[in-house]
Amino acid sequence: MEAVNVFEHQKKEKTNPGIKNSFPVTGMTCAACASSVESILLHTEGVNRASVNFASSSVLVEYEKGLSPNQLQNALREVGYDIIIDAENPSEVQQELQQKHYQDIKSRTIWSAILTLPIFVLGMFYMQWEPGKWISLVLTFPILFWFGRSFFINAFKQAKHGKANMDTLVALSTGIAFLFSVFNTFFPEFWLSRGIEPHVYYEAATVIITFISLGKLLEEKAKSNPSSAIKKLMGLQPKTLKIIENGEEKEIPISSVQVGQTILVRPGEKIPVDGEVSKGNSYVDESMITGEPVPVEKIKDEKVFAGTVNQKGSFQFTAEKVGGETLLSQIIKMVQQAQGSKAPVQKLVDKIAGIFVPVVLVISIITFIVWMSVGGDNAFSQALLTSVAVLVIACPCALGLATPTAIMVGIGKGAENNILIKDAESLELGHKVNAVILDKTGTITEGKPVVTNVHWKDKLENQNEYKEILLTIESQSEHPLAEAVVNHFKDEKIEKTEIASFESITGKGVKAQTENGSKYYVGNHKLMVDKNIQISASLRQTAESLEEQAKTVIFFSNEKQVLAILAIADKIKETSKKAITTLQERGIQVYMLTGDNNKTASAVAKQVGITNYQGEVMPSEKAGFVEKLQADGKIVAMVGDGINDSHALAQANVSIAMGKGSDIAMDVAKMTLITSDLQSIPKALELSKRTVLGIRQNLFWAFIYNIIGIPIAAGVLYPVNGFLLDPMIAGAAMAFSSVSVVANSLRLKRVKL
């Protein structure tokens, strides 16, 4: 099978890109706010591009060099928003503000619920009890104008910009219901003299505030910790390092290091900056860059990178890239930009509300005018009752519950199936995914090198003795693959023996001598050739076959002949092929990108049935490929498990991390598969499909109720049968619509994925 080069695409030409910066934003409370921030910045002179990510509360701005961040800040401050620019660590300041905001919403929601309960009981079961109206009035006032004040403030902000959203609808309906109820409490005789019962609607107003506050609380919780991935990435770089100056060892802070300085790295230490090995050798764990589990040998003139971890040997290297120039710093910057570059997904309900609110207002005003013209003696009372009934029945409770209830049930259903979903956006988008990119190591494969095959020479006696010698030799070896051999023989309950001497042969393997003077070698084919050791025809053929399967072959011999060959590979998970086939059957294109060599990539791709794959891929190239697919109009899901995948995960429409992978990958990703089983991916996409269907059904029911209810509330049946909808019945109808929406959402629980 030939590899399909997935990187063959033309690069877009950029004209005058200017300065690109990501800033934390404060003061945003809904998706419409994100749109306002974006619009204000785009209308600021000198700004070329602005893209707000509501989920991470950040904005990516591309502006001309003559413009300062202070000017951007002033433009936003004028309309009630702000960006953090003057703090040492802006993300940390933003996180503190977010946490404070979350705690504020939490306490307001709790107190609102506590005070709403007695109002609800009085309104539903003791509506004729006169003192109950006054008790409800006293309790409603703080719920609306203290705990629910944000709805009225935000509605006012939106109105100033000529916009409307859910907050507008909440503020209008609850405010009018409250004022109408206050009038009926103080002046009941106004209605009684006209033969009309003066009802109050305190419970309708307070229940709406409490329900919507709960939705806001859940939303805020989902986006309360966006920057932890960046913090962890930054933590990969050590704070101090050791330099060699005039032959002496000296410890300096990372900020003071200069290009050209000689840096000392001991076993187990993180490499502080990028550079080139000048003295010594070791094995370095580069999984944060390549994703590959096997440490890489580093000898003189080899490149080393910041954030990677030195294994057993000590070495010195010359610093080449420091500060913001290191590969780790570039990865941090790319993740930050990718997280902030996605345009906000305008919540469906907010979009609807933007049209719905003005329409309801117009209907309410028209209703009032019509009744004033044709109402006769009771024109004013009937006009007031019908226009209030329109506003009450149009109350957005069912509309507000449509999305959050379905999402809550969907997230719960995901958790039952070992899928942790971080935010609603990925759950909403999952059903549109038509391209899935898989990392190899730790995603398709187990992510841990194991011995897959052991072949001994034909008719070999004393095999157990040889196993003991091989185990003892590998136990003393520093080579990362030796650990896989040791684990294999330990599982077989093989015991160690004694060896007299042990010698490492750089780049080839090891040599050992037993107490009786017998010499043994463990290493690659090159070592066998150098020592003129015979390899039987059957073992040679087996070794070639195993290498074609992209396995690493190790030879074990005495002075004369090869006694055994061992194949080491990263084992493919049992369920990977089935999951990939399921995705392909659903018409989803599956790609594999890996930092491993092309030969291994080809072998793994062939085994699992993937035709589009590429090996030796850098982290930024993975993200570049995601961008390329997005530019082609695809909705991309990226599945990875390592730090090297974090940029691509941040860039993808739907990001999925493996539960056994790195914390950073899980932080960046919007979904995490607890079991690391790829079969959870088709399940997650199916869950998204069912959840979105539930949301659409909910919105349909919420709207049908409004389409039928609003004309009846306006009095269209009055000329036919003299029926006028009492606002109290309108309130009950509103409650019923909410119950039907919740009940429909709960149906998701019974769905089989």
- Work out the end-to-end distance of the chain between its first and last CA atoms, rounded to an integer number of angstroms: 34
Angle at 332 between CA 636 and CA 277, to 5 degrees: 115
Q: Could you tell me which residues come within 8 angstroms of residue 478 by beta carbon, excluding any fewer than 6 positions away?
A: 283, 311, 312, 313, 504
**Burial of 141 by CB count in 10 Å (0-12 exposed, 13-18 middle, 19+ buried)?**
middle
Residue 461 amino acid letter: E
Long-range CB contacts (within 8 A, 24+) of 459-467: 460/563, 460/564, 464/494, 465/497, 466/556, 466/563, 466/564, 467/492, 467/494
Q: Could you tell me which residues come within 8 angstroms of residue 197 by beta carbon, excluding any fewer than 6 positions away?
A: 191, 726
Tell me the three state secondary structure of residue 57: coil
3-state helix, strand, coil in the chain (%, to 5): 55, 20, 30
**Could you give the CA distance from residue 740 to residue 212 in angstroms, rounded to a whole number?**
17
Measured in whole angstroms, the distance separating CA 738 from the mean position of its chain's CA atoms is: 30
Backbone angles phi, psi at 72, to 5 degrees: -65, -45
Q: Which residues does residue 248 pair with via DSSP β-bridges, in sequence order?
A: 245
642 close to 441: Cβ distance less than 8 angstroms: yes
Closest to 20 (Cα-Cα) out of 289, 238, 340: 340
Write the Ramachandran bin of 635: left for phi over 0, alpha for psi from -120 to 50, otherwise beta: beta
Q: Which residue do the tokens 């910790």 mark?
A: 225
DSSP label of 88: S
DSSP label of 534: B
How far is it between the farthest Cα atoms of the chain? Answer: 121
Closest to 516 (Cα-Cα) out of 572, 558, 554: 558
Closest to 538 (Cα-Cα) out of 603, 462, 619, 455: 455
Tell me the three state secondary structure of residue 82: strand
520 close to 560: Cβ distance less than 8 angstroms: no
Q: Which residues does residue 316 pair with via DSSP β-bridges, in sequence order?
A: 264, 279
For the annotated catalytic residues, the residue numbers are 439
Task: Lay out the sheet containing 19-26: strands in order across.
Answer: 47-53, 58-63, 19-26, 82-83
Q: How far is CA 144 from CA 29, 91, 136, 176, 654, in A?
A: 18, 33, 12, 11, 38
Closest to 496 (Cα-Cα) out of 476, 480, 526: 476
For strands 303-304 and 274-280, give the pairing: antiparallel
566 close to 453: Cβ distance less than 8 angstroms: yes
**Could you give the CA distance from residue 505 to residue 113 in angstroms, rounded to a whole number?**
73
Torsion angle (degrees, nearest 10) of CA 537, 540, 542, 543: 170
Closest to 65 (Cα-Cα) out of 50, 48, 85, 87: 48
